[in-house]
Amino acid sequence: MPDTTVAPTSLRCKVCGGDIVNDYLAGVCVCANCGNKWSIADLIPDYSKYSRIISGINKASETLSAATTVAATNEAKLLYKTASSECGKIGDAVSADLLKLCNEGQAKAADLGTYIRGKDYFNKASYDSCVRELSKLPGYKDSDELIRQCKLKIEEERRRQIPWAVVFSLILPAILAIFLKEKAGMPIGAVIPIFLVCSAGLGYVLYRGGIPSIIIKIISFLCATPLIIFMVLAYVFHVGVVPSAIIAIALPVVSFVLFAMLTEKNN
């Protein structure tokens, strides 16, 4: 039986005087005290006019109970929304109770959709995305435990990336240091602290991960080859700064173009 929410009490039991709870989705009235049941159609006039709404809510509830994908939760949400629109056309006490069920159902569908999306991120090892999704649902199912596991995985991944973070954190500061020394004429005693501070800052950003670290890695990777060529020419073979810079930039570009042309020719 799908998970349902009963409506507020509206009558008194004729047997014991207890509160009667209308379970619209099951089609019965139940005494909260003695448990006697009646068909809700016998107590509410024109109950048949709500049958389409109730059928829609039941279908949405069944869809939500069996949902294992975000698409299924969206389908359930749409069914609840359609039923709520029908409730608005009637506008009486019973439709108000049914509208409450629809609103509760839409909220449940949204929460389950968020949970499933977060669980999918977890299964795909996208731990940052999983934490972002499941943080919207504190205490929901096992979301807290999944968040805890994600944070452990993220920390493990960060520790594994420390050597690469150190390598990538040196490239851009090295380029800046060379520019300050060779072009700006800054003394080496001033360049070294700037280099160290920049490297430490970039290292921290790379350690934390995220989009900024990805951008830094891409730029550093693109600059790594020209930087190595420049340093070899300028400091090993003592070629001038300007020619070294031109060769360092042009050589990778020309090599890439030639490689692309040869590959295209072979194909």
Which range of residues forms the domain containing residue 202?
161-262
The pLDDT score that the predictor gives to residue 256 is: 75
Q: Which of 62, 92, 121 is the last residue of a domain?
A: 121
Residues 169 and 246 in one domain: yes
Handedness of CA 211, 215, 218, 224 (dihedral sign): negative
The pLDDT score that the predictor gives to residue 137 is: 93
Which DSSP string do the residues of 83-129 spell out, in sequence order? HHHHHHHH-SHHHHHHHHHHHHHHHHHHHHHHHHHHHHHHHTT-HHH
The pLDDT score that the predictor gives to residue 134 is: 95
In a domain, 136, yes or no: no
Question: How many C-beta atoms surround the C-beta of residue 201 within 10 A?
Answer: 12
pLDDT tens for each residue of the chain, 267 residues long: 344 444 443 467 777 878 888 888 788 888 888 888 888 877 777 778 888 888 999 999 999 999 999 999 999 999 999 999 988 888 888 888 899 999 999 999 999 999 999 999 999 999 999 999 999 999 999 999 999 999 999 899 888 888 888 888 988 899 899 888 888 888 988 999 999 999 999 998 888 877 888 888 888 888 888 888 888 888 888 888 788 888 888 887 888 778 778 776 665
In a domain, 39, yes or no: no
Residues 112 and 175 in one domain: no
In a domain, 38, yes or no: no
Residues 171 and 79 in one domain: no
In a domain, 154, yes or no: no
Handedness of CA 15, 20, 25, 27 (dihedral sign): positive
In a domain, 80, yes or no: yes
The pLDDT score that the predictor gives to residue 5 is: 44
Residues 116 and 166 in one domain: no
Q: How far apart are CA 113 and CA 70, in angstroms?
A: 5
In a domain, 19, yes or no: no
Residue 109's Cβ-count burial label (10 Å; 0-12, 13-18, 19+) is buried
What's the structural domain count of the chain?
2
In a domain, 150, yes or no: no
Residues 113 and 167 in one domain: no
In a domain, 166, yes or no: yes
Residues 82 and 170 in one domain: no
Residues 253 and 165 in one domain: yes
The pLDDT score that the predictor gives to residue 23 is: 83
Q: Which of 121, 137, 172 is the last residue of a domain?
A: 121
As beta bridge partners, residue 31 has 20
Handedness of CA 113, 119, 123, 127 (dihedral sign): positive
The pLDDT score that the predictor gives to residue 238 is: 85
Q: Which of 72, 97, 121 is the last residue of a domain?
A: 121
